[in-house]
Amino acid sequence: MEKQFNYLRDIGKNYHELSNDDERLLTALSELDDEILYDIINKYTSKDRSFQPVNMLRAKTAMILLDRSVRQKDIEDIKTEIREKNKVYFAEFPEYQLQGLEEYLFSKKRDVFTNWQRLWSIYHVFFFQRKTKQTVNQYLEQIGEQLLEDLELSDYQVHYVDFTGANNFGSDEAWLALYPDQKDSHKEAYQFFLKITDIAEAGLVTGHSIKGPSIRKIQGVSSYEELVNVFKNIKDEILQLNRGSINYFKFSPGAQAEYWDWFYQKKIIGLGYNELELGDISDINSRKELTQRAGLPEGSRSNQIWNIWLFKSAKKGDVVFVNHGRDKVLGIGIIAGEYTFNKEHNHSHQRSVEWLTDKVYEYKTASYKGQTSLFRADTFSPTKVSDFLLSEYVRLYPELEDVFAQHNLQFENIDIEENKEEEFTDKESINNFWWLNANPKIWTISSFNEGDTQTYTARNERGNKRRIYQNFETVERGDLIIGYESSPVKQIRAIMRITRELHHTEQEGEVIEFEILEKLDVPVHWDELKNDPALKGCEVFINNQGSLFSLSEDEFDVIRNTIDEKNIAQERELKKGEDTPYDYSTDPDDPFISEEEFFKIHSILERKKNIIIQGPPGVGKTFIARKLAYHHMGKMNDPQIEMVQFHQSYSYEDFIQGLRLKREEIEVYNGIFYTFCQKAHAHPNKSFFLIIDEINRGNLSKIFGELLMLIEEDKRSSKYSTKLTYSEEEEDRFFVPPNVYLIGTMNTADRSLAILDYALRRRFAFINLRPIYNENFKNFLIENGMSKKFAQQISKRVINLNNEIESDANLGSGFQIGHSYFCSYKEELEEQEWYEETLEYEIKPLLEEIWFDKLDKAQEMLAKLRG
């Protein structure tokens, strides 16, 4: 590490001199290679970069430097011409930049260059760029990782800031801090701290957010070896200080907080992640060991591993905020016991908790530092909003102040009306914008969690540069990315942020690294964007052959707005659904069939994925179809269920894909099944159910088209993806995801229906339902207020009628009368009057249809029903 350390120290010395001596800086600018100056001009006049005065100042300076040196007066002149919007002075700039200058609104109270008084803030980007920037970040990371190993800090992590500075204004120093995994930020910890500028210093530093006296023990170091010795001498003190401080975590008690009541009653919190097959991790002493136990590659940044390690290593006395979604707190607790493993429970990794309150707090968007939400989307992770939440709880529930004091929970009272994040006028801090194509055959965004980091290679498998390679060279830390999965999925799946610029790794070569900020509950499909007039000139829609595409800020905003609109609508839909646990065995509204028969049907559905429930009218086919979906999901979650009814005019274009005229152009539009499958693609860990009512009323071969093969259970993968009839390009391929289940219903009494196509019939399992007039049926009527005698009479009479129908050679069991016709009785109705109305207006028309050529027979059977 000595080479890396010395390189950083030399850079720090040079930048320190340039930042503190304007004349030396101006001289250094005049000595820059023309290649660097052209890069600056191209970067800050690009159509993909929105207009900013400081960027025009930089580009104009570079243009002057191509001819001669620049003096302080030149810089002030450029500023003046920008303020006066002198387009003639900037005639060599492209038209879109001149238009940006013309439209820019200058503040009357504050000069636009107030933040740019120091020349180094303006011109640091001329020096700290490309390879230099990449090397500095690489070396900072290497030193940090090596320090963790040399100091044996298995549960610590690295945070570093390069010479760009924390706020992108340019700095003459770089630094790194080592701090515990349990802390959400280095600011909340006692740190192993290294700063490199004209000299290198290292030691103990107190994070800014720690309350009480600040400790700072720093001394100069001249080599990596000396740095390690300094840290070793102070290691015990830093570890002890961090052990004595309280850590704050957020804990999610299941989807929609469904297990919160159970956790609260049992006084525990727990994690599952059973798919990792970790077993009891009491003997695990580091995140590295945990990664190995899970069978993941060394260096994996799995969010699940991070969550479990934090959960296991959290100290007794640490605080847990229980969240529901991103903006609601359900309770606060103190971790009271060490890690335990309970193999009998789904949440097998457990910690005991002393609950301080179960009072609810709901966050008002942007009321704390402008944050749109409070929490990450993962299960167990550190949180930096503890002060805010504790002060809010005391404000709303004053009695909790004494409770918090008893547990030594100190916090600052925060005025949410006055608490606003500092705003920077430097547009550069808002970063650049990109579109990244992920090939789902190689890796999928959906397989990662929010907070996970991932890399993308800048070269293909043969080592050749990817198309538009310069985009990989241009990305900067903090840039925002639209995460898109290409064909056959063709959906925007996530919003991501660059965490490391282009750098080299031993395993993958040249890569960029990014963090998944937000996974989309409702992905946006390619077809929803490609015809948007605001995106006509967008690089990715002109030619989508490639991996990384540049977006302008306006284009990013258009896409972001489409994402938000879709997800807001979906959130409303989810709130309307009954997302409550479901088990057929405990359902008071279950069908009259036995548990054994129901579970058998469910087993067939799981294996075959496509079933048709057939039987006479009124046997509850659709009712049972929905119950099967609920039981499979374990929840009454209707947003994962779609219903459609087939009829003679229903077509492939309605179901799969078709053409329509829009804005005098013909465009492809997606049918209900195609859209439903895309929704399922977006949530591979959830099950989705399409219930097709009266499936045999449609021309099935015509409706399903080429999907006849794709719906088979063993064809549910990209391996069998096919080009659809109306696909515009060869790569626009489609397959049915394995988490989609088809449940058709079919009336066996419908004489007008053709026999099912054999090719379709062999792809479904057929379930026969018969009318049920057993004890369950009679008990149902009695529980609804009917007299026992009358319930028995109805059952007996309809059974006799059905026996008559079944024995008729022209009819058979498929024409029997279903029990659903008699399930509408309510206690407030007069039973005889209700029964007569049911016979006259529901059963009589049915009997006359059954015996359409023997109406006297229908009258005879109706008379028997009346008794």
- Sorted by where each begins, the domain ranges of the chain are 33-126, 131-243, 248-406, 431-570, 584-768, 775-866
pLDDT score recorded for residue 467: 85
Q: What is the third-level CATH fold of 248-406?
A: ph1033 like fold (3.10.590)
Lowest-pLDDT choice from 85-99, 201-215, 516-530: 516-530
d(CA 489, CA 717): 11
Q: How confident is the model at residue 587 (pLDDT cuts 50, 70, 90)?
A: confident
Average pLDDT over residues 160-188: 88
Asked if 232 and 152 touch (Cβ cutoff 8 Å), the reply is no
Residues β-bridged to residue 612:
744, 766
pLDDT score recorded for residue 756: 62
Residue 75 has pLDDT above 80, yes or no: yes
Residue 462 has pLDDT above 90, yes or no: no
209 three-state secondary structure = coil
d(CA 449, CA 213): 38
Q: Which residue has the tokens 């359409």?
A: 852
Choose the CATH number for 584-768 among 3.40.50.300, 1.10.287.130, 3.40.50.620, 1.10.600.10. 3.40.50.300
Q: Retrieve residue 671's tokens.
A: 């049918």
Higher per-residue confidence, 83 vs 706: 83
Residue 620 has pLDDT above 70, yes or no: yes
Average pLDDT over residues 532-555: 85
d(CA 385, CA 408): 17
Residue 135 has pLDDT above 90, yes or no: yes
Q: Which residue has the tokens 């720093």?
A: 218
Q: How confident is the model at residue 578 (pLDDT cuts 50, 70, 90)?
A: very low
Residue 667 CB-density burial (10 A; 0-12 exposed, 13-18 middle, 19+ buried): middle
Average pLDDT over residues 843-861: 87
Lowest-pLDDT choice from 132-141, 321-330, 573-582, 790-799: 573-582
- Of 177, 176, 179, 181, nearest to 189 by C-alpha is 179
The number of residues in the chain equals 867
Task: Spell out the residues 6+ positions from residue 335 whose beta carbon is closer than 8 angstroms to its own.
Answer: 269, 314, 315, 316, 317, 318, 319, 320, 351, 352, 353
Q: Which residue has the tokens 């290198």?
A: 200
Q: Retrieve residue 617's tokens.
A: 């009218």
Render pLDDT for 400-437 as a digit per residue (tens, 0 to 9). 999 999 998 887 776 554 444 443 333 344 568 899 99
Residue 139 has pLDDT above 80, yes or no: yes
Residue 38 has pLDDT above 90, yes or no: yes
Q: How confident is the model at residue 680 (pLDDT cuts 50, 70, 90)?
A: confident
Percent over 90 (pLDDT), the chain: 40
Choose the CATH number for 431-570 among 3.10.20.30, 3.10.590.10, 3.40.50.300, 1.10.600.10. 3.10.590.10
User: Do 248-406 and 584-768 show the same overall fold?
Assistant: no
Residues β-bridged to residue 353:
335
d(CA 794, CA 804): 16
Q: Where are the alpha helices (DSSP H) in 717-787?
A: 758-761, 775-783
What's the one-letter identity of residue 719? K
pLDDT score recorded for residue 29: 95
Task: Spell out the residues 6+ positions from residue 240 whose beta carbon is closer than 8 angstroms to its own.
Answer: none
- The model's pTM is 0.59
Asked if 688 and 702 touch (Cβ cutoff 8 Å), the reply is no
Higher per-residue confidence, 72 vs 648: 72
pLDDT score recorded for residue 421: 40
Half-sphere exposure of 165 (CA within 13 A, CB side): 16
pLDDT score recorded for residue 481: 92
pLDDT score recorded for residue 669: 77
Asked if the bond preceding 488 is cis, omega within 30° of 0, the reply is: yes
C-alpha separations of 255 from 258, 521, 733, 750 in Å: 6, 13, 33, 43
Higher per-residue confidence, 376 vs 60: 60
**Phi, psi at residue 75, to the nearest 5°?**
-65, -45
Residue 740 has pLDDT above 70, yes or no: yes
Average pLDDT over residues 656-682: 77
